[in-house]
Structure 1
Amino acid sequence: MLMPKTVALIRIRYTLEAALARGFTTVRDCGGAEGFIKAELQQGTLNGPRLLTCGHAISQTGGHGDLRFGSLPASAFDSCSCHYGQVGVVADGVPECYKTAREEFRRGADFIKIMGGGGVASPTDKISNKQFCDDEISALVNVANSYHTYVTAHAYTPEAIQNCIKLGVKGIEHGNLLDERTAEAMAEYDCYLTPTLVTYKVMASDQFGAFLGPVNSKKNAEVLYKGIEALKIAQSKKVKICYGSDLLGPLYGYQTQEFRIRGKVQSAQEVLLSATVTPAEMNGLGDKLGQIKPGFIADLLMMKSNPLENIEILDEPETNILLVMKDGRAY
């Protein structure tokens, strides 16, 4: 999140190639990947999954996407804004929200991502914070609607989730503190949930325990143990569930562990649907991706074992995936 953009761009080739090798032929990026990266993938100068992107995640000042340390004023960052903070962009007030969302679409975004509540990795907010005012969220939703697409929101608490979905947000990222009433509302509003349970597990591990620092590690612990319960609640209330990871940088190599975690509370078929059919539907690609059918794009995995019998084999791609095909081409 804090490295120079030039360094991130050098590394992205390896991140993309590794994701494809793990069997991910399509990836939805919720903050950082820009349109020119997507274009290079389409042209074949980069190998990796096809990307669905939001550009930058949109945050209020002091919100989850604002990575500026609280010890310095905003003016201290003005001279280096082109090179700093690739994940999020800050917008305050209705006019700025309109302009920022349109700028992301101008640069190739497929949807809009907003920070609807506090987060774990951000330095100056609390998880309990509700972020953006109602008129700002409505403005962002209005822009997305005009482009015939949707807004998804980072949100943990029932208050933040309910506030977003009543204003027209169609996706919730994480949702670790979800309760039954909120899950019922999500189902009623036809809103999609993308849990990212592996993120908190990895960031709490001995290997990466220093990744967040003491303050943010405490926030991580708050949401870590609630995530599985939230998934169970969403499942029981028939919320549409997608597959996600939210891992950053070198942690991205652990994205397949989400299969193993989900398999503790979902059937193998439910987990597979969350990684194929449901997200294709969410992104308006239900007639092109996620199924093996005549007329669909030829994305195929050939494996030694059947994931419907044991979903955990998808967490062992090095030994179980024999072939990854994307767009009819074997990689």
Structure 2
Amino acid sequence: MTTIFLKNARIVDGTATEPSDPMGIVIEDGMIRDIGPDVTADTDMVLDLAGLTVMPGLIDCHVHVIATTADLGANAALPSALVAARSSVLMRNMLMRGFTTVRDLGGADRGLQLAVEEGAFLGPRLVICGKALSQTGGHTDYRGPYDNRDVGWYAQSLGAMGRICDGVPEVQRAAREEIKNGAQFVKAMADGGVSSPSDPVGYLVFSVEELRAMVEIAKGFGTYATGHLYTDEAIVRALDCGFECIEHGNLISDATIARVAREGIPVVPTNITYDILASSGARFGLPAESVAKIADVREAGLERLEKMHDAGVLMGYGSDLLGGMQSEQSGEFTLRGRYLPADAVIRSATVDAARVLRMEGQIGTIAPGAHADIIAVEGNPLRDLSLLTQQGAHMPLIMKGGTVVKKTAALR
């Protein structure tokens, strides 16, 4: 049994506007056993965190760990072994930014998840949907005009973000197969997107019957369906079919904001990706036709943040970056901080993110019974969200599941 004691921990998790009083935290076999101002423990490993801010490990609710280049068509054609090797580097960098759990929205499989769990790859805890469900001519169909080659191989390519399924029977089979293969929820490309060639934003790709079929399969397996969604029409359509989470949501209307707040539907905005794609997408391999779509959703997404916050919508932290742009993963903190209070921004990557992932009490919190995912930050992020950026430069301690993955010499 391994026991670690953290003392003088002033905690920030987004549920208050000031850090807590100094606390003692007892960690036992990777879990938090006890916490409180008078808690102590007799152990050889004691870390004094005086002068630092202590936070739960951060959670990114929308990543693509297999997106090793912004040209996702090219990425899908890469050898799976090469994608896995590059993915291991992307995941390690995520962890070193303080993200101890990430939710992959298309591509990561049970193999990558096991590689992290077994310690072969150093990375965050992975929550996966397997391949996103798409359709001919939809988001993640990267063939473009005049190319009608069969894309059945997408389902077996680690570098492919999604798989193609047309018609209710194919949708049912694909959803069942992804869950059989380890998917923890179902993700559908239920609107057009930026990174693929033949699906304009607002393109109502799946039929209502297909959307309902995947929701039925997900619920039958005890989980939920989430959708890549931009326009209000597509969002309403998905909600009517039983979808229980919205990815992006840039063009959501005021009326639908009120609806999702009332019904408790989470939204995962991913605004940093549009900022970076607009400035650097072409340099990182995003095709020109994709770059041209960015303006359709960029400014609206930022304006909707305040509306959703004011309405009380549950929002998770999401980055959705591709290839070399993934180094900007933490930029969503400062971007949201221009529109929202710092505590709300932090909460989106801690307790609220845990709710989005349906892992309340397990992650995103420093409390008895939770995984010992803990980071220490120099300074107070409630006053300066940029302390959570710069590739973890201001994080002298990063701990995942009770294992110290980063500790600077300054800690004693």
Contact 2:193 2:199 in 1 (8 A): yes
- 2:324 maps to 1:253: no
Give the total of aligned pairs. 330
- 2:262 maps to 1:188: yes
**Deviation of the 1:213 alpha carbon:** 3.2
Q: Distance in 2 between matches of 1:243 and 1:80?
A: 28
Whichever structure has more strand as a proportion of its residues is: 2
Q: Which amino acid aligns with 1:32?
A: G
- 2:68 maps to 1:13: no
Q: Unaligned 5+ residue runs, structure 1?
A: none
| Post-superposition CA distance 1:69-118 (Å, at most 9, x none) | 2221134x557874486101011111111110111011111111101101
Q: Which amino acid aligns with 1:67?
A: Y
TM-score by length of 2: 0.77
| Post-superposition CA distance 1:195-252 (Å, at most 9, x none) | 1111010011157457333322221111111111111121122111000011112211
Distance 1:47 1:167, change over 3 A: same
3-state SS of paired residue (1:204): helix
Pairing partner for 1:27 from 81, 84, 102: 102
Contact 2:361 2:367 in 1 (8 A): no
- The aligned residue for residue 48 of structure 1 is 123
Q: Distance in 2 between matches of 1:82 and 1:167?
A: 28
3-state SS of paired residue (2:375): strand
Q: Distance in 1 between matches of 2:126 and 2:159?
A: 20
225-234 or 153-162, which deviates more: 225-234
Q: Distance in 2 between matches of 1:199 and 1:171?
A: 19
> Higher relative CO (CA 8 A, sep ≥ 6), structure 1 or 2?
2
- The aligned residue for residue 36 of structure 1 is 111
Pairing partner for 1:271 from 332, 345, 358: 345
62-71 or 195-204, which deviates more: 62-71
- 2:138 maps to 1:63: yes
* Equivalences for residues 207-226 of structure 1 within 5 A: 208=282, 211-226=285-300
The structure having more radius of gyration, on CA atoms, is: 2
Identity of paired residues, percent? 37
3-state SS of paired residue (1:241): coil
Q: Distance in 1 between matches of 2:180 and 2:253?
A: 37
Distance 1:41 1:33, change over 3 A: same
Distance 1:267 1:214, change over 3 A: same
Q: Distance in 1 between matches of 2:154 and 2:215?
A: 30
| Post-superposition CA distance 1:50-87 (Å, at most 9, x none) | 00000011012111121222221134x55787448610
Distance 1:79 1:128, change over 3 A: closer
TM-score by length of 1: 0.95
- 2:305 maps to 1:239: no
Q: Distance in 1 between matches of 2:231 and 2:204?
A: 8
Structure 1 runs, 4 residues or longer, greater than 3 Å off = 77-85, 206-211
- 2:403 maps to 1:329: yes
Contact 1:179 1:233 in 2 (8 A): no
Q: Which amino acid aligns with 2:182?
A: G
Distance 1:50 1:80, change over 3 A: closer
- The aligned residue for residue 302 of structure 1 is 376
* Equivalences for residues 32-181 of structure 1 within 5 A: 32-75=107-150, 77=151, 82-83=156-157, 86-181=160-255
- The aligned residue for residue 285 of structure 1 is 359
Q: Which amino acid aligns with 2:325?
A: L
Q: Which amino acid aligns with 2:93?
A: A
Q: Distance in 2 between matches of 1:29 and 1:185?
A: 26
**Deviation of the 1:133 alpha carbon:** 0.9
- The aligned residue for residue 61 of structure 2 is none
Distance 1:80 1:321, change over 3 A: closer
3-state SS of paired residue (1:293): coil
Q: Distance in 2 between matches of 1:84 and 1:40?
A: 14
**Deviation of the 1:146 alpha carbon:** 1.3
Distance 1:42 1:229, change over 3 A: same
Q: Which amino acid aligns with 1:137?
A: L
3-state SS of paired residue (2:122): coil
3-state SS of paired residue (1:320): coil
Q: Distance in 2 between matches of 1:163 and 1:255?
A: 30
Q: Unaligned 5+ residue runs, structure 2?
A: 1-71, 406-412
